[in-house]
Amino acid sequence: MSTMSSHPLKVLISGGGTGGHIFPALSIANALRRRNPETEILFVGAENRMEMERVPAAGYRIEGLPVAGFDRKRLWRNFKVVWKLFKSLRKARGIMAGFNPDIAIGVGGYASGPMLKEAQRRGIPTLLQEQNSYPGVTNKLLAKKAAAICVAYDNMERFFPAEVITKTGNPVRADLDALAITQEDAKKELDFDPSRPLVLVVGGSLGAGTVNRAVKAIVDRGSLPENAQLMWQTGKYYIDDYKDCAPGRDDVKIMPFVSRMDLAYRAADIVVSRAGAGTISELQNLGKAAILIPSPNVAEDHQRKNAQALADREAAVMILDADAVSSLPGELASLLADRDRRSRLRDNIAAMALRGADDRIVDIVYNIVSNR
């Protein structure tokens, strides 16, 4: 730990767009405040994205940029995106001049690029928190002038300067690992039978259409394999399409969002999810048997690469999005019937966990600032 830990820093944290970016950012902010409660923290996110609600709810200030992601399938729509980028760069200059942080941290998402580019232009040190096994274009560009790059996977020197890389792991929500309750009691609290296996389906904070269709195919067959139960988070955009899929059944519970992920994870015997870096880090820390269905609609196809890194070590089952509806029913039935395989998956994914990532990142922050 740096000897500067008593000095209150000014830290700008930029990024967001999904829970996978927001939760690690908040974990870093909370670790900074644990180190010194007087640390001044400003978040910068994308206007009209979920961080504009989640960050203030966690007790932090946030500014929004009018930035948006590029449409890779309909390139003609990107004229407006480029205009928003120019507006965001101009606003980033004002935010940076007004706050003047000691360091700027980028966690990924639309707002990271303009803010960290402006920080680097001003000579303010930057730290990149790269969650994925394959980085996006923005972080590759920002890496050239970054003071530090915190990663969660090996061999990232393929993409970044080796001298600034530290394998810290990805920060995860502190509440997920703090629950002092047995799996059976967690099932009871969620109103499930503690003696029966529970499958938790989470399609990300916004939901996932293919995952929902694949799960519906299982529910439509009647009772689940091995007398299992299902906790199905559809995402807010899909709940109206699926909320009435299992009328009168006590083995299936359908909801738009899981408010107590700590309970849900503790109760689950198998987790079916997308392969975002944040979710994978949570599954590693908690040692959960998982079936991963990577989203094809992400930059650089990074979710497939994340999932493949686990599948190669028999730490998760991977099903491609295009195969999900046809393959998930059989894969899930096979895994529910095979306790030994579930145990191997749990052991192997837990062995990949890097705990305490948030505190390691804070150590690096203090070292960078102290050496300016």
Write out the DSSP string of 30-69: HHHHHH-TT-EEEEEEETTSTHHHHHHHTT-EEEEE----
3-state helix, strand, coil in the chain (%, to 5): 50, 15, 35
What tokens appear for 214 in the block? Answer: 């694949």
What pLDDT is attached to residue 1? Answer: 42
Q: 149 to each of 131, 145, 281, how far by Cα in Å? A: 10, 10, 17
Instruction: Please give the pLDDT value at position 3.
Output: 42
Q: What is the pLDDT along the chain (372 residues), one digit of tens a residue?
A: 444 445 689 999 998 766 678 889 999 999 999 999 999 999 998 887 788 888 999 999 999 887 766 555 555 566 666 767 778 888 999 999 999 999 999 998 778 889 999 999 999 999 999 998 888 888 899 999 999 999 998 899 999 999 999 999 999 887 777 778 999 999 999 999 999 999 999 986 666 889 999 999 999 988 888 899 999 999 888 888 988 898 889 899 999 989 899 999 999 999 999 998 889 999 999 999 999 999 988 777 889 999 999 999 999 999 999 999 999 999 999 999 999 999 999 999 999 999 899 999 999 999 999 988
| pLDDT given for residue 214 in this prediction | 94
* CB-facing half-sphere around the CA of 66: CA atoms within 13 A: 12
Name all domains of the chain by residue range, CATH numbers in brackets. Answer: 3-171+356-370 (3.40.50.2000), 175-350 (3.40.50.2000)
For the chain, what's the residue count? Answer: 372
Is the pTM here over 0.85, yes or no? Answer: no
Let me know the angle formed at the C-alpha of 278 by 23 and 242, rounded to the nearest 5 degrees: 90
Quote the pLDDT of residue 144: 93
Tokens 């939760």 locate to 23
Q: Which long-range contacts (CB under 8 A, 24 or more apart) does 60-67 make?
A: 60/26, 60/29, 63/91, 63/95, 64/111, 65/91, 65/92, 65/110, 65/111, 65/114, 65/115, 66/91, 67/110, 67/111, 67/113, 67/114
Instruction: Identify the pLDDT of residue 46.
Output: 84
Exposed / middle / buried, residue 206 (Cβ in 10 Å: 0-12, 13-18, 19+):
middle
CA 17-134-359 angle, 5° bins: 65
